[in-house]
Each structure stands twice: as C-alpha cells, then as structure tokens.
C-alpha cells in the first residue's frame, strides 16, 4: 500500500517536472482547441459588415441609415465613396455595400454583394430587402397585420462550436495520456532498468503498476480541470451536463486507455518505437472518432471502422453529457465496449509484461 501511494506521489512530482508531459497533456490540447475553434468556430449569430453611402443626406436618408444601424446582425460603416468600398467588398472585408439614392430621384436602393461568397451576401440581401419593405410600409403609414416571431431552436441548448469541440478535446487528451504517455514512460522505465530495480524489492510489483494507474488517473483529472477552466473562462464554452459525471467518464476512459498503453508497451522495446506506435494508433483514431467534427462527416465506407474504435464511445458520451446534458443511459453499451477494450488490454499486458 505504501508502495502504491509513493508511486502516485512521486509520479505526480515527476509529471509536474516533465515539460513534455505538461505540453502534451495541457498545452497541445489548448492549442488545438484554440486553432480549430478559430478556424471553424462561428458564434451562433453571424454579423455582416455593411458599408452605406447616403446620397440623400436628408431626413429620409438619415432615417434609413439610422434604421439599418438598429438591425442587430449588421455592423454599419458610412462611406462617401463607393470605389473604396467595392474594393473592400472584393477583398471579402465587407459583405454588402448599400447606396441610398437622393429622395424623389426615383432611383432604387443599390446593393452590391460578392458573388463568390454568395451565402453570406444572399442572407444579408434578404435582411436588407426585408428592412426596405418594412421602411416602405412605415412610410406609407400602414400597420403590419401579419408578423413573424422567430425563435432559434438547437435541441435543448444553442450549441456553439466550442461547446461541441471541448468534450472531444477532453476525450482526445485522455486517449493521448494512455497511448502516448504510458507507453513512453513504461518503456523508458524498462530500458533504464528501473522496473527491474523495483522488482528487486520485497514489495509486490502490483503496488508499483497500480501506482502508475493511479498517477495517470489523477493527472488526467488535473488536465481535464485545466482544459475546462480555460475553455469556460477564456473561450466562454458552456458545459450543460454535470462536471462530476464528466470527471467519472475521464476516469473510466483513462483506465481503459492506460490499459491499452501498458499493452502497447509490451510490444515495443524502446521508448522511441513505443511512442511512434502510440502515435500511429492515436492520431488516425483522433480524426476518425469525431474529436474535431461529427464523425458522420467521414465517408460512409469508414463508418463501420469508426464504430469499432475505442475512442468513439468515449467522445460520444462525453459530448452528450458536456454539450447536451444527456443522461448516460443510452451510452452504457458504448461505455461497456470501452471497458472491454480496457480489460482485454490489461489482460494482454499482464500476460506479456516484461520487467527488463
């Protein structure tokens, strides 16, 4: 028991002193989260940059500009020259350029958009047309008889991309701890004859191996806490489900993937080859299992393989809890499948484990 406790304690000290472990466990997932969040993360309501030129400069024109400013999704800049604005439109820095004609000239309101980015342009155009239609009604003194009130629905909560990404990153970090961290550390201890030295003590070797499992469980929880804290405080990510459930899932995932790490470490003789093998397994798995995007995005031919990966059920259940606040019940089979992976891995490791 003392051997177990000291292995956990000294393991944590070594973790804190190991810049590599802290980088892969904390900095790397944070960098991924930031970069992928920046690349794909759109906040729930987009804003469109609109440049407005008011050729009327009278009451009507000023009223229209003021009206446009009150449209929440428009960010309005007034301009006096369309050439510069059109150039900015072509560069993608504006979504729409709007020109209000002088009052009474009979000219239409002109709107320019970039055809190469037609989705944003069309959306902004529709909003503009609706705005103009409403302005006409108001100018005619009509009271609208039919109104629409729109309410956004996205399941139980509005899902931002980061809320979707965070649980995936957490699951990925758990996997990396087992497949890269454990394999590297165990093979290093074996190569340096540290394992043999421990075997030369009267203690049961399970005390040390159990201590390693305990150490990785605690570092996984610590990494989860840091990642969640940064995601929530800095990126305003939302976690709907319970943190305790997430922590329990991190523990289950860590146990399973640490088992796989032990199993891989029995195949490799050097830390370098163990690390390579761990990465060769974990990197494709991380892209296939839906860490960064829904796994349905992958081609149908891949789906049967994806369903067999041990990371898939972990990503699914962590996302269900974190992003949607779902109950664990529909995911118990997936968790059982992950547990089988872990149990088989520990059995393989126990049979094949070499101390030197």
Partner 1 sequence: MAIVTVRDLYKRYGSLVAVDHVGFEVAAGEIFGILGPNGAGKTTTLEILEGLRRPDGGEAIIDGVDVFRSPREVRARIGVQLQQSGFFERLTVEETLVFFGAFHRSTLPVADVLSRLQLDDKRQSRVSTLSGGQLQRLSIAVALIHDPRIVVLDEPTTGLDPQARHALWEVVEAFRREGRTVILTTHYMEEAQHLCDRVAIMDHGRIVALDAPRALIRAHAPKTTVAVTMGDGVIAFASLPGVQTVEQANGEVMLSTSDPLQTVQALLELRSRGQAGFHQLRVEEASLEDVFLQLTGRRLRE
Interface with partner 1 by CB under 8 A: which residues?
Answer: 2-3, 5-7, 10, 13-14, 17-18, 192-194, 196-204, 207-208
CB of 203 to partner 1, least distance (A): 4
Cα 127 to Cα 180, 215, 260, distances in angstroms: 51, 56, 54
Q: Identify which of residues 14 and 31 has a Cβ nearer to partner 1 in the complex.
A: 14
Please identify, using beta-carbon distances, which residue of 17 and 42 lies nearer to partner 1. Answer: 17
Counting Cβ atoms within 10 Å, is residue 312 exposed (0-12), middle (13-18) or buried (19+)?
buried
Q: Which is nearer to partner 1, 126 or 193 (CB)?
A: 193
One DSSP character per residue, 145-206 reads: S--------BTBS---HHHHHHHHHHHHHHHHIIIIIIHHHHHHHHHTTHHHHHHTSSS-HH
Min separation Cβ 200 and partner 1, Å:
4
Question: In angstroms, what is the minimal distance from the CB of 295 to partner 1?
Answer: 38
* Contact in structure between 172 and 29 (CB atoms under 8 Å): yes
Name the residue nearer to partner 1 (CB basis): 10 or 340: 10
Q: What are phi and psi of 181, to 5 degrees?
A: -65, -55
Kindly state the smallest distance separating residue 225's Cβ from partner 1, in Å. Answer: 22
Could you tell me the smallest distance in angstroms from the CB atom of residue 222 to partner 1?
17
Q: Which residue, 7 or 223, is less far from partner 1 as judged by CB?
A: 7
Q: Which of 323, 293, 324, 325 is nearest to 306 (CA)?
A: 293
Query: Measured between alpha carbons, how far apart are the two ends of the chain, in Å?
Result: 24
């Amino acid at each position: 028991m003392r051997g177990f406790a000291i292995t956990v304690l000294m393991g944590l000290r070594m973790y804190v002193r190991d810049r590599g472990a802290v980088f892969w466990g904390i900095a790397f997932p944070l960098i991924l989260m930031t970069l992928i969040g920046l690349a794909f993360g759109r906040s729930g309501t987009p804003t469109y940059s609109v440049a407005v030129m008011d050729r009327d400069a009278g009451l009507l024109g000023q009223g229209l500009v003021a009206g446009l400013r009150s449209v929440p999704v428009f960010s309005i800049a007034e301009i006096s020259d369309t050439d510069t604005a059109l150039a900015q439109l072509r560069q993608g820095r504006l979504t729409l350029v709007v020109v209000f004609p002088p009052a009474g000239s009979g000219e239409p309101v002109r709107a320019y958009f970039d055809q190469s980015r037609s989705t944003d342009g069309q959306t902004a155009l529709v909003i503009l047309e609706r705005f103009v239609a409403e302005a006409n009604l108001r100018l005619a003194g009509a009271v609208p008889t039919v109104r629409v009130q729109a309410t956004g629905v996205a399941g139980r909560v509005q899902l931002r991309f980061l809320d979707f990404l965070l649980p995936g990153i957490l699951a990925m970090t758990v996997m990396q701890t087992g497949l890269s961290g454990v394999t590297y550390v165990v093979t290093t201890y074996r190569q340096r004859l540290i394992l043999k030295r421990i075997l030369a003590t009267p203690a049961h070797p399970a005390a040390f191996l159990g201590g390693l499992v305990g150490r990785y469980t605690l570092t996984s929880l610590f990494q989860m806490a840091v990642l969640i804290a940064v995601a929530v405080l800095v990126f305003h990510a939302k976690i709907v489900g319970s943190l305790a459930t997430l922590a329990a899932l991190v523990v289950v995932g860590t146990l399973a993937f640490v088992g796989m790490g032990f199993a891989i470490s029995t195949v490799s003789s050097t830390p370098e080859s163990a690390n390579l093998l761990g990465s060769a397994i974990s990197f494709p798995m991380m892209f296939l299992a839906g860490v960064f995007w829904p796994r349905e995005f992958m081609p149908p031919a891949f789906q049967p393989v994806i369903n067999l990966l041990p990371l898939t059920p972990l990503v699914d259940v962590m996302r269900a809890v974190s992003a949607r606040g779902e109950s664990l019940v529909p995911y118990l089979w997936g968790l059982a499948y992950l547990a089988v992976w872990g149990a088989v891995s520990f059995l393989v490791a126990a049979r094949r484990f070499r101390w030197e």
